[in-house]
Structures are given as C-alpha cells and as structure tokens.
Amino acid sequence: MRSDDFLSRNISSLTHALESVISAEDLCRAPGLLQGLDARVKVASVVLFIVVVGLVHSLPILSGVFLLVLAFGLLSKIPLGLFLKRILIFIPIFTAVIAIPALFTTPGEPLITTGSRVIITEQGARTGGLLVLRVTDSLSFGILLVLTTRWTDILAALRWFHVPSVFVTVLGMTYRYIFLLLHTANSMFLARRSRSLGTFSAKENRRWLGQALGTTMAKSHQLSEEVYLAMLSRGYRDEGLALNDLALRRRDFLGTAFALAMASMLLWSNWL
C-alpha cells in the first residue's frame, strides 16, 4: 500500500466530513418551509412523529410517512441526493442486517420454501419490513430536524422543554469540539504527507495510525480539562445560557396544528 494513497484517502474523508457540516449550516439558513418554524415546534413535532411511527403497524402507512418526509425536505430546499445519502447508506442497512434473522425464525405462513422446508415466512418478512421502515422514518425525521435547525436553537429548545442542563451542555460541547478533533486529525495527516518522501508499508501505516490515535486521545483529554477550567473561571455553574430568544409566530401555531392533525390521521388510519 502506497503511503500517499493511504494518506490521501484519510485526508479526503476528514475534509469531506468537515465540508458536509458547513453545507448543513448553510441549509439551516435557506428560505425553506421548516427553516421558518420555531425550534421548539420542530423538536416537539419530531418527537411526536417518532412516537407515532413506533405505534404504527402498517407497512403502507410507514412508506407514506417516508414520502411525507421527502416532501418536507424538498419544500425546505434540501437536496434530495444529500438527504437520501444521509438516510439510506448506514442505519437502515445496518437495521436490515439485524432484521434478517427475523425472516427465518419468525413462525407463520410460508412465503419462500425450498422443497418441503419453509425458508421465509410472511410474518417474518413483515416483522423485518416494519423494523427497517420504522428506523428509516425515525432517522429521516431526526435528519430533517438537524438540517433545517441551527444547533444552538435545538439546544435552546431542549432547555425550554426542561431537559437536564448537564445533558444539554454535554451535547453542545460534543457537537462543538468534535469538529476541532477532526481538524486536528486532518492536520496530522497533512503534516505527515508533506514530510513523506518515499512510500511506507501497510505495517508502518498501521503503526503510525495507532500512534496518531493515541496522540489525538491525549490531546482531547487535555483539551477537555482546559476547557472545563476556563468555563469555571468565567462563571459557569452547570447551566447553559442561550443568546437567541425563541418566539412563537402564527406560522408556528399552524405548524403545530398540522403536526397534531397528521399524527392523529396516521394513528386513525393504523387502527382502521
């Protein structure tokens, strides 16, 4: 394995992660449908729909919910390719792998047979489909919230709903400093590449990567101590303060009414 290929792939991955965050911040300021709603309305609506998705037992309804999320994404100026890539690549595929055993172990009417042996049952296929669609829909709502809402507004909305301040603070600090960690790792890869005149073996690359991970963990631990001491010296007392005020407008009440009506209709359709 060539050293430049190894480093180029890692530098490209880290840079792409940083660029995706920047593009997400731009989407939060786009003149879309959901960007104009109050963060509290969006957080409450997302939680409501996730609960509804967990209660629904109909595959067509869950598929319709996913189409509804896609419609909201398009109305919010979110590129369809970006949205689908964030949804369909990792979590649903991982969930499908988890759901595969249910296809073969759930008793019921035979769907696929080999000779006289039942391979997959209808109940097993339905159980696996429900699991995949529920996770996909729930993930879609979460991604829709993150892509259309500034992170500071989400944290302010969580505090308004009386989520413990420690949880909100840890969540905010993690989001803020994970990007600094990515920048640090990116700088380490670039520094090694700029000082590499020859090629390295796979064993040497793995050894350097292990050392880089150890150095990064040590730096992150030291940084966390310094940040916490700096916060205490500036008057931090386990309570985060939001600089932006949240205010409900007419569109927010309309959005709340729509979310309640849609959730009620979905549950009613499920019980028919």
How confident is the model at residue 1, as a pLDDT? 45
How confident is the model at residue 239, as a pLDDT? 61
pLDDT tens per residue, range 53-109 = 999 989 999 999 999 999 999 999 888 888 887 777 666 667 767 777 777 777 767
Share of the chain above pLDDT 90, in %: 24
Q: How far apart are CA 75 and CA 137, in angstroms?
A: 17
Q: How far is CA 15 from CA 8, 124, 186, in A?
A: 10, 42, 7
pTM: 0.77
78, 147 Cβ separation under 8 angstroms: yes
| Residue 50's pLDDT band (cuts 50, 70, 90) | very high
| 145: nearest Cα among 71, 55, 76 | 76
Q: What is the mean pLDDT of residues 5-14?
A: 62
pLDDT tens per residue, range 145-167 = 988 998 888 888 988 898 888 88
How confident is the model at residue 182, as a pLDDT? 74
Count CB neighbours of 36 within 10 A.
Answer: 13
| 48: nearest Cα among 270, 266, 236, 271 | 266
Q: How far is CA 55 from CA 35, 41, 51, 152, in A?
A: 28, 21, 6, 31
